[in-house]
Chain A
Amino acid sequence: MSQVATMHPGVEPAESPLTPESWGKLGMWIFLVGDAMGFGTLLAGYGAMRYGSADWPSPYEYLGISLTAFMTFLLICSSVTMVKALEAIKLERPGHVKLFLSLTILGGATFLGLQAYEWTHLIQGGLKIYGNPWGASLFGTTFFIITGFHGAHVTGGVIYLSTMLAVVSRSGNTARNYMLTEIAGLYWHFVDLVWIMVFTFIYLL
């Protein structure tokens, strides 16, 4: 084992070449790279359809950015509480671990609630997946597919983190739980990272 691997009590028997402390971490990174390609393809396709259209509506005029700017802030806050939860495991503060994980879950759940509110408002205003009153029909199609795909990831993240909260609550601050929480954190920060791109490309540009 490498020097890094021997420093980690929770290290697995056969070390991973890129993430010596865990194969799971490498697995999560590979999954995230694949997932990022999915989002990248959606956003590139969005760009092609938008610039090939002469009557694409100005997103910020119709979608409204006050609420989504707040949703962005909320996801950034939840990323901070996620790293704080990980830090609390390292500092062996079980109360703080549960508190910060719960706040992260709450942030994700609130984000989903606000997205449901936003979708409802927009659908009532005429934005449908097949058309809208303001211009290119693909405006609604791309909006719902991209924000919906991201929303599905947030939903998965909330379920994943709730499971992690149960695991950490039951078995405490172990080296294994540190690693599992770090891997779950990678997924959650990725969801935040993708939203940063979605917010810029779908709402602001």
Chain B
Amino acid sequence: MAATHAGPSYMTIFWWLFALTIVEVGVIFMPLAKAVIAILLIAMAISKASLVAMYFMHLRFERLTLGLIAITPLFLGTLLVFLLVPDHSAVPHKTSDAVKIAPVAGHK
């Protein structure tokens, strides 16, 4: 059937993903600047996604060209964020009160 893949065991990857998820949840309550928290969270999310792609999806053991094709959306997504920068820096607007819904008792 398939060739045996050398590398960390699936359980090792699982524990890394588990640990990173716990750290992610912990980071948002740390007394750090919002930008620092955002950078840490994005770095951890990309690390977790890479672990899933490399080991669970076996991308680490596929041909380099397939790997390059697989990361194309990441580059295009990043490019799209920069293309949207003019919108980011537009004058911030507030939602009009008309579309706000009254809070329900018992909820925040």
Chain A residues near B (Cβ < 8 Å): 4, 7-10, 18-19, 21, 26, 29-30, 32-33, 36-37, 39-41, 43-45, 47-48, 51-55, 60-62, 65, 69, 72-73, 76-77, 79-80, 82-84, 87, 89-90, 124-126, 128, 130-138, 175, 178, 182, 185-186, 189-190, 192-193, 196-197, 199-201, 204-205
> How would you classify the secondary structure of chain A's contact residues: helix, strand, loop or mixed?
helix
Q: Please state if B49 and A196 are interface contacts (CB–CB under 8 Å).
A: yes
Q: Please state if B66 and A18 are interface contacts (CB–CB under 8 Å).
A: yes
Q: Please state if B104 and A65 are interface contacts (CB–CB under 8 Å).
A: no
With A79-B56, A189-B52, A196-B52 as contacts: A131 and B100 at CB distance below 8 Å: yes
User: What is the chain B residue whose CB lies nearest that of A47?
Assistant: B81
Q: Please state if B70 and A204 are interface contacts (CB–CB under 8 Å).
A: no
Total count of chain B residues near the partner, CB < 8 A: 57
| Contact residue among A8, A73, A135, A204 (Cβ-Cβ distance under 8 Å from B2) | A8
17 extra interchain contacts, Cβ-Cβ under 8 A, other than A18-B66, A79-B56?
A: A8-B2, A18-B65, A30-B69, A33-B69, A37-B77, A40-B76, A47-B81, A65-B28, A69-B25, A76-B14, A77-B14, A83-B10, A89-B1, A130-B99, A197-B49, A200-B41, A204-B27
Q: Please state if B88 and A133 are interface contacts (CB–CB under 8 Å).
A: no
Q: How many A-B residue pairs have CB under 8 A?
A: 173
Residue numbers in A under 8 Å from B38 (CB-CB): 205
Q: Please state if A204 and B25 are interface contacts (CB–CB under 8 Å).
A: yes
Residue numbers in A under 8 Å from B24 (CB-CB): 199-200, 204
| Contact residue among B18, B90, B101 (Cβ-Cβ distance under 8 Å from A126) | B101
Q: Please state if A52 and B2 are interface contacts (CB–CB under 8 Å).
A: no
Q: Please state if B84 and A65 are interface contacts (CB–CB under 8 Å).
A: no
User: What is the chain A residue whose CB lies nearest that of B50?
Assistant: A193
Residue numbers in B under 8 Å from A51 (CB-CB): 88
Q: Please state if A54 and B94 are interface contacts (CB–CB under 8 Å).
A: yes
> Which of B76-97 touch A at CB < 8 Å?
76-77, 80-81, 84, 87-88, 90, 92-95
User: What is the chain A residue whose CB lies nearest that of B56?
Assistant: A189
19 intermolecular pairs with C-beta atoms under 8 Å apart: A9-B1, A18-B65, A19-B62, A21-B2, A33-B73, A40-B74, A40-B77, A48-B84, A48-B87, A48-B88, A54-B94, A55-B94, A61-B108, A76-B14, A89-B1, A90-B2, A192-B56, A204-B27, A204-B41
Alpha-carbon distance between A62 and B57 when the two chains are bound, in angstroms: 34
Contact of B48 with A by CB under 8 A: yes
Residue numbers in B under 8 Å from A18 (CB-CB): 62-63, 65-66, 69
Residue numbers in B under 8 Å from A204 (CB-CB): 24-25, 27-28, 41
